[in-house]
Structure 1
Amino acid sequence: MSELRTERLLLREWRESDLGPWAAMNADPEVRAHFPEVLTPERSAASVARFQADLAHRGWGWWALEVRATGEFIGMTGLDPVDAEMPFTGVEAGWRLARSSWGHGYATEAGEAALAFGFSTLALPEILAVTTATNLPSQAVMRRLGMTRDPADDFDDPDVADGPLRRNVLYRISAGEWAAVRQR
């Protein structure tokens, strides 16, 4: 399994000690504001089991996110193949952080590490990012990463009931665009 390091963060394999903070994050209505529901501890644990299996199988996926200076678990970030029922294909980047970690630039820093891994190690031609149309903070991270949105690619999530969370936006960045962003 690949472990990624940035100046302040460690993207690593999941540990048993991550389960409690991860479940608390997923039970926080503000952290889950752009998802259909909060998660039970059992569903949070099941998600970690899937993340661990994917990391073991592929060597990449949704990594646990830790602050290097303190060892504090603050969420997850990484890359994952797009779900089959979506109206597009590819690999998506994503992040979810504990509320106490918002506003420190961690999502952008972790996202940069995930994109760098995707383009340099996996040689992906393009990486996507998806969020609800109402999730402006996550869209701001996508723009800071150099990703762009074509409103023609926006879509209704087939797994979400009608309402404000159904409409989603799709951001993209190609390997060439990523290289140009890194040159700046």
Structure 2
Amino acid sequence: MTDLIEFETERLFLRQWTPADREPFAALNADPRVMEFFPARLTRAESDAMADRCEALIRERGWGFWAAELKGSREFIGFVGLHTPSAELPFSPCVEVGWRLSFSHWGKGFASEAARGAFRVGFTVLGLNEIVSFTAVKNFRSRAVMERLKMCESGTFEHPQVPGNSPLRLHCLYRLPRAHYDA
């Protein structure tokens, strides 16, 4: 186990997962709006297993997909953070920034705000040289977040964990080199 990294932004706490996060996380993973650009919605057991993996990776490395909590209400709204993808991607090895927020918290700038905090951790604490992000080509909302984060579009690829006949298989890649972050 390494030192646990947690941080806050203006409106959010990015922290380790707790048992209380499981129920609202399962609800957002079952929401067809949230999961529109994933191959399938998650069952409660699948959602709990994902939360367990996120928690274990943070415990192991000190960082990962952190639980995102509103400062004012202490409400869990999803996750934002850094992750090393397990899939063998054309640009592996890499560290990605990612997010999944409950629908009621979309459009409020939380993903961008928390991702900027994750960049700060990745570049200044972890010493990463680059952070990537990727999504289904048709996921224009997430792509807009990547562009607001000043990430550069860097081509497309077929995601190996998405079934070959799925319209979601084609993904776009965005990159943020440390030099662009420092500028």
The Cα shift of 1:179 comes to 1.4
> Percentage identity across aligned positions?
46
Q: What amino acid sits opposite 2:55 in the alignment?
A: Q
Shift of 1:86: 1.3
How many residues of Structure 1 are paired with residues of Structure 2 in the alignment?
A: 178
Change (3 A) 1:84 1:38: closer
In 2, Cα distance between the equivalents of 1:103 and 1:179?
Answer: 27
Query: Which segments of 5 or more consecutive residues in structure 1 lack a partner in the other structure?
Result: none
Q: 2:53 is matched by which residue type in structure 1?
A: R
Tell me the distance in 1 between the aligned counterparts of 2:128 and 2:5.
16
- Matched with 1:125 is 129
Change (3 A) 1:33 1:84: closer
Shift of 1:163: 2.6
Find the aligned partners of 1:159 and 1:38 in 2 and give their Cα distance: 15
Query: CA offset at residue 85 of structure 1?
Result: 1.8
Residue 51 in structure 1 maps to residue 54 in structure 2: yes
* Matched residue, 1:75: 78
Deviation at 1:61, TM superposition (A): 0.4
Distance 1:164 1:9 in 2: 34
Picking from 138, 143, 149, the partner of 1:145 is 149
Amino acid at match of 1:157: H
- Cα-to-partner distance string for 1:27-85 (whole Å, 9 max, x where unaligned): 00110000000000000000011011100000000100001011010000100112242
- Determine the C-alpha separation between the residues in 2 that align with 1:147 and 1:106: 17
How do 1:41-120 and structure 2 match up within 5 A? 41-89=44-92, 90-120=94-124
Structure 2 length normalisation: TM-score? 0.95
CA distance in 2, matches of 1:123, 1:23: 33
Q: Unpaired runs of 5+ in structure 2?
A: none
Distance in 1 between the 2:160 and 2:177 partners? 26
1:25 alignment partner, SS class: helix
Residue matched to 2:160: 158
* Cα RMSD (Å): 0.8
Partner of 1:4: 7
TM-score normalised according to structure 1 size: 0.95
